[in-house]
Chains A and B, each alone.
Chain A
Amino acid sequence: MTEMVKTSTPDAAGASSAVIRLVDLSKSFGQQPVLQGLSLDIPREKLTTIIGRSGGGKSVLLKHIIGLIRPDRGQVLVEGTDMTRLGQRQLNEIRKKFAMLFQGSALFDSLSVFENVAFPLREKTDLGEEEIRHKVLEMLEQVGLTGMEQKYPSELSGGMRKRAGLARALVLGPEIMLFDEPTTGLDPLLARTIHDLIQETQRRYRFTAVMVSHEIPEIFEISDYVAMLLDGKIAEMAPPAQFVRTQNPVIQEFINGGRGALCPDPASAGSVAAASQEARRP
């Protein structure tokens, strides 16, 4: 298997471009190994998507990056600081750089949409109520939720909850955004809208984004890099156009929905994705 692993990380171009470096990360739950010596560099101000089988450890990987789970072995370096060795106070300090959009949005049930989005501002800034109100309404407008501020999460549809979660995540202007399957459970049109919103906000705020997703081929259109998690390691990481041309048959099968290579000529598949991606760039 090892000889099949071919990782072309953007770090080859220069270590300074990696804002997050995962080094030889291993994690087991009981007898079940999930990550097995995984190494990955996340490039700065780019959207990197991690794909892989359900239950393969993608969400676990994301939670390692933000320090919600500690690895059994290995390092999580954020701007050179090893997250795995930090105490709670230092960890909280580093976490100020981060924001995360959870699979189920994780909005606080007992708070309205407005209060949810205002929550990080009230907790982490000294802004006055008027300023908070202004910022929250502006953020809600950007995610298309104007007029919904007084609703509670239980009164929102799945798509609206994702938008509210995105607004809450973005309101403090994070340097690093983590997206845990942001479109799971949404219909294709809504999934597209959320993807567009993620891409648009990433381009506007220029944060480093790490997304875990199953949405193939849509993610090839919005991602700068795609990484495949296989057997607890990164089997391949490359820009989408290069990624779809991989010679790795397992990855080919995965991205083609279990039908092997979709196009007889993988190169043409790559060029389609690349063209599509180019077309969508602002």
Chain B
Amino acid sequence: MIVSTVANLGATALSIIREMGRMVVFLAQTIMWMVRPPFRFLQLLKQMHFIGVKSLFVIVLTGTFTGMVLGLQGYYSLRKFGAEGLLGSAVALSMIRELGPVLSALMVTGRAGSAMTAEIGLMRITEQIDALDTMAVSPMQYLVAPKVLAGVLVMPLLVSIFDVIGIYGGHLVGVELLGVSSGAYTSSMESAVEWKDVYGGILKALSFGLIVTWVCTYKGYNTGMSAEGLGKATTEAVVLASVLVLIWDYFLTSVLL
């Protein structure tokens, strides 16, 4: 009984390590194919449109409401100390350092990442990936590399939009609805936010873009050969990408602070 439990634990640990190894090899191959000609600008543009432009609506929507909630919560918390004037800095710092990058990454995972896994997975099941191989076109270069590169390039832009919209959302609630002075909101923000906060947020965005597209394309590329397998791959991709984003966020924050 004990032996079999230990054996099972060992087997699970080994399979997790093996999977991690495969994921790292996949990432290394993707980066290798990114820098090898032919460069697929059209594919890259298509993917930037898919990940970026098509995620705009959800980014604007969640950004607005996140900023509004921050404004509301921040106002009532700060009022206890008579520090409503610091609302701008509280909203801006939370958005730029944490909520902007993390929530944008989670939104992109749900909207674009899951679609990527499903698309590549379906191409695997219907042998379209094999067809690319037989035509001597690398599926890693044609399908995966443009998606990962597009994710890395587009995520900082989405995060910037999320931040700006969120700060305006906080302004809307704090200044327009709750009566904080507009000057105090902006000046507290101006004095509290430093360039290193912005750089840190952008660095997070870049790395989250990589994590989301890497995990989602990997799961699609290695999907099970059935509808059930594809469903499982999509779920795993969303869960793993979200969890990795949050874990990586902690480590990056601890280094950046």
Contact = CB atoms under 8 A, between A and B. Distances in A.
Interface of A: 63, 66, 68, 88, 92-93, 95-96, 98-100, 102-104, 106-109, 119-120, 123-124
A49 to B, nearest CB: 19
Contacts of A92: 136, 138
Contact of A96 (B130, B133, B136): B136
A107 B123 CA distance: 9
B134 A104 contact: no
A20 to B, nearest CB: 15
Contacts of B130: 63, 68, 100, 102, 106
A119 B126 contact: no
Contacts of B14: none
A124 B128 CA distance: 17
Contacts of A123: 135-137
Nearest to B129: A106
B19 interface: no
B190 interface: no
Nearest to B140: A88
A108 B46 CA distance: 16
Q: How large is the interface on B (under 10, 10 to 19, 20 to 34, 35 or more residues)?
A: 10 to 19
Contacts of B123: 108-109
Nearest to A95: B136
A95 to B, nearest CB: 4
A96 B136 CA distance: 7
Contact of A124 (B122, B126, B133, B135): B135
Interface in B95-140: 122-123, 126-128, 130-131, 133-138
A184 B44 CA distance: 36
A66 B131 CA distance: 11
Contacts of B134: 66, 68, 95, 98-100
29 contacts: A63-B130, A66-B134, A68-B133, A68-B134, A88-B138, A92-B136, A95-B133, A95-B134, A95-B135, A98-B134, A100-B130, A100-B131, A100-B134, A102-B127, A102-B130, A104-B126, A104-B127, A107-B128, A108-B123, A108-B128, A109-B123, A109-B126, A109-B128, A120-B135, A123-B135, A123-B136, A123-B137, A124-B135, A124-B136
Contacts of A106: 126-128, 130-131
Contacts of B128: 106-109
Nearest to B142: A123
Given A93-B136, A100-B130, A106-B126, 17 more contacts: A63-B130, A66-B134, A98-B134, A99-B134, A100-B131, A100-B134, A102-B131, A103-B127, A104-B127, A106-B127, A106-B128, A106-B130, A107-B128, A109-B122, A109-B123, A123-B135, A124-B135
A96 B133 CA distance: 11
Contacts of A103: 127
Interface in B18-53: none
A93 B130 CA distance: 16
Contacts of A124: 135-136
Nearest to B133: A68
A147 B127 CA distance: 26
